Amino acid sequence: MLDFDATGRRITCMRTTLEVPEALLRDATRLMKVKSKSEAVRLALDDYVRRNRRHKLLSLKGRIAIEDVSPELERAEVRDARRHR
């Protein structure tokens, strides 16, 4: 089954059987304001993965040096814009 993510990229979906407490799924569906159980599970999984990735990135704070090159990039963009007039 094909579906699309929030950015419009095509993703492949699979059917599966899950045992989820009925009250938990009902509460999640209501709180997320979605109509289907599948959508509630998909949103919950997306949220979990996003939070986990964010946590891992934040744990790198102070471990890697990242140089702010935004002024340099901005100058390059202005140069390119002037060339393409």
Summarize pLDDT for 11-32 with one digit per residue, the tens.
Answer: 788 889 999 999 999 999 999 9
Q: How far apart are CA 48 and CA 37, in angstroms?
A: 17
Q: What SS3 class is residue 65?
A: coil
C-alpha closest to that of 14 among 34, 43, 38: 38
Residue 10 scores a pLDDT above 70: yes
- Using one digit for the tens of pLDDT, what is the confidence trace for 43-81? 999 999 999 999 998 888 888 777 777 888 888 888 888
Number of domains into which the chain is organized:
1
Range of the structural domain that residue 52 is part of:
2-83
